[in-house]
Amino acid sequence: MKRLNRQLLKRAELPKDVIVECQTDLPERVIQFGEGNFLRGFVDWMIHQLNRAGKFSGRIVAVQPTPFGKVVPKLNKQDGLYTVVLRGVVNGDVVETYEIISSVSRGVNPYTDWQEVLKVAENKEAQFVFSNTTEAGLTYLREDYRGSSPQSFPGKLTAFLYHRYRAFDGDPEAGMTVIPCELVEDNGDTLRDIVLQIAQDWNFPEDFIHWIQAHNRFCNTLVDRIVTGYPDDAAVLHERLGYYDELLTVGEPYHLFAIDADGPVQQALPFHEIGLNVSWGAFDVLRDLKVRILNGAHTMMFAVGYLSGANTVRDVMDDDLLKQFVRQGIYEEVLPSLNIEAERKTSFADTVLERFSNPFNAHFLVDIGMNATNKFRTRLLPTLADWVRHRNTLPDVTVFSLAALIAYYHPVRLEEAHLIGSRGEEEYRIRDGGEVIRFFYNVWEDYKNGKTDLSLFVQKVLGNRTVWGTDLNELPGLSQAVHDNLRKIERTGVKQAVKQIIEEKGNGTTWTS
Ligand SMILES: NC(=O)c1ccc[n+]([C@@H]2O[C@H](COP(=O)([O-])OP(=O)(O)OC[C@H]3O[C@@H](n4cnc5c(N)ncnc54)[C@H](O)[C@@H]3O)[C@@H](O)[C@H]2O)c1
Ligand SMILES: O=P(O)(O)OC[C@@H](O)[C@@H](O)[C@H](O)[C@H](O)CO
């Protein structure tokens, strides 16, 4: 089967329902740090839509952010082309679209071709920076700059911007608009602060620091689209498309891009003019809705679902009991703890459940479970803490999900940088930061070897401030409740324990939806 590339576009007859409006000769106007699923199915797809509408006329250079990337060679083999498949239910109708995306001109591996990255800095037409390097990428790393590619993403950006500053002699007009997409609160401000810190570490001149502050915009953003990436039914899709695409990118039709940016950015990137769901300006409420409801529910379900035998979000939604668990968590615990107008939060939750029930949504629970302790801290702990503060009781579903998370972090062995857990005969990888991994390995070993009993084990786990950012034992009753839930899980397994929780809470008729 022929591979997707420019030649194929010239020669092949493609199925009629594949959207092919490719512009493969537009100038490079964007540099993007990251080439992962999310950027390809979201930002790059949006820039492609702007190009199709004649409202941007520019392409993207995608820079690989770590030495271990595998996407850049694939992108270049396909001349930057790839297919976005959007599958889901919109207003009750099943929607499935196929579109060849041509907004990426090429990929660059900065570890072998750093000069190519610097050449983009010398191109005045390149005025935008996008990124998604996961939360782990948007962090400060103290490192030296010796003229080759820095390790960290902010280090690369600092070196890139310094080269540009020098190439254009500090021209204010050469300043860039930087739009990071990492799910980090105030991601634009955070990135700017790290860049400024690195500029100081490297003794770059004060004038450069002034140029960054005065003439480069760093926008805070919030992104929302479930992009599951390369599908498990790729062979079927290739057959249907009639060509081979190593970068097939599957996502849902829903998308939301909130960008806190002023008029000139809105005019330069007029997403709103072509019907894309982009919100300009401050987005505090949207962030709370998205992170607390959608991401919160994901974190609430991943361990409970996985240890109950489900593999994907869709499996959870197809199981009456697990679905009830998620619904109770959202409607009875997360929503009451959000100080947002009732109709708005309920309607957002309804949409989230509809998105989770997307029949095509093969979103793997083990992927959602990566770095789950940190996700619990940012996505569910606010619900838990708020509940305790206002009601002096504990939210059962959220607390159970914490116990299930701890059970999920139960290793059968330590393997290099991660733990191996087991679900019956099957093994899975427990992926988290090195310190978290070592901590869970040690506490579970002590418990299994009888050095601690379950009460002390739970107290140790909840008391680790590095893991949770706080001592969770200080929440009244939490330690006992997690202990009781873990005991139930030990005795009956997760699924039976969930059943008990649901039955104790009643049949759920109090749900808003
Ligand atoms: N996939 C989604 O549905 C979705 C939706 C919204 C937000 N996100 C965000 O995207 C991230 C996952 O991205 P994806 O789905 O494209 O996955 P992916 O694995 O396809 O891409 C991850 C990218 O991050 C880079 N990266 C990983 N660790 C890094 C590090 N330490 N330093 C620098 N770069 C690093 C990788 O090289 C790769 O380019 C998540 O952290 C999430 O916050 C994903
Ligand atoms: O991508 P992560 O691993 O940070 O979190 C898992 C999911 O909650 C997340 O990817 C959502 O699907 C996404 O945030 C939807 O916009």
* ipTM of the shown complex: 0.97
Query: What are the contacts of 164-167 at 24+ separation with CB within 8 A?
Result: 164/121, 164/122, 165/208, 165/211, 165/212, 167/121, 167/122
The closest alpha carbon to 348, from 222, 228, 231, belongs to 222
Question: What digits encode the pLDDT tens for the residues 29-56?
Answer: 999 999 999 999 999 999 999 999 999 9
Please give the CATH architecture assigned to the domain spanning 285-504.
Orthogonal Bundle (1.10)
Ligand 1 residue neighbourhood (C-beta within 6 Å): 34-38, 65-66, 69, 132-137, 153, 183, 223, 225-227, 229
Q: What is the rounded average pLDDT for all residues in the chain?
A: 95
pLDDT for the residue 509: 38
Coil, helix or strand for 414?
A: strand
**Is 70 exceeded by the pLDDT of residue 513?**
no
More confident residue, 376 or 512: 376
Ligand nearest to the CA of 132: 1
pLDDT given at position 217: 98
Q: Centre a 10 Å sphere on the Cβ of residue 182 and count the other Cβ atoms it contains.
A: 22
How many residues are recorded in the chain?
A: 513
Question: Looking at ligand 2, which atom is closest to the CA of residue 363?
Answer: 12
Q: Which atom of ligand 2 is nearest to the CA of 256?
A: 16
174 vs 123: CA distance, rounded Å: 9
Superfamily the domain 6-280 falls into: NAD(P)-binding Rossmann-like Domain (3.40.50.720)
> What is the dihedral sign for C-alpha 447, 450, 453, 459?
negative
Helix axes 320-327, 342-356, angle to 10 degrees: 150
> What integer pLDDT is reported at residue 10 of this predicted model?
87
Side-chain-side CA neighbours of residue 64 (13 Å): 21
Atom number of ligand 1 nearest to Cα 227: 3
Quote the DSSP letter at residue 220: E
What's the burial of 29, exposed, middle or buried (CB within 10 Å: 0-12/13-18/19+)?
A: buried
Q: How confident is the model at residue 508 (pLDDT cuts 50, 70, 90)?
A: very low
Bridge partners (DSSP) listed for residue 170: none
Task: Delimit the domains of the chain by residue range.
Answer: 6-280, 285-504
Mean local confidence (pLDDT), 209-225: 98
Sequential DSSP letters for 234-300: HHHHHHHHTSB-TT-EEE-S--EEEEE--HHHHHHS-GGGGT--EEES--HHHHHIIIIIIIHHHHH
Average pLDDT (74-96) is: 94
Name the residue with tokens 């679209």. 97
Give the C-alpha separation, 290 to 224, whole Å: 8
CB 120 within 8 A of CB 176: no
Task: Report the pLDDT averaged over residues 371-389.
Answer: 94
Whose tokens are 């297919």? That residue is 83
Residue with the smallest CA separation from ligand 1 atom 1 is: 227
pLDDT tier at 232, thresholds 50, 70, 90: confident
Averaged pLDDT for residues 262-288:
97
d(CA 245, CA 444): 44
The one-letter amino acid at 22: C
- Report the pLDDT value the prediction gives residue 469, as an integer from 0 to 100: 92
Q: Is the pLDDT of residue 1 over 60?
A: yes
Higher pLDDT: 432 or 156? It is 156
At residue 493, what is the residue type? Answer: G
Please report the pLDDT score of residue 314 as a whole number. Answer: 94
* CB of 133 closer than 6 angstroms to any ligand 2 atom: no
> CA 414, CA 448: separation in Å to the nearest integer?
14
108: enclosing H helix or E strand:
strand 104-108
pLDDT greater than 70 at residue 75 = yes
Distance in Å, CA 182 to ligand 1 centroid? 8
Centroid of ligand 1 to alpha carbon of 280 (angstroms): 23
Question: Ligand 1 atom 40: the closest Cα is on which residue?
Answer: 134
**Percent of the chain topping pLDDT 90:** 90
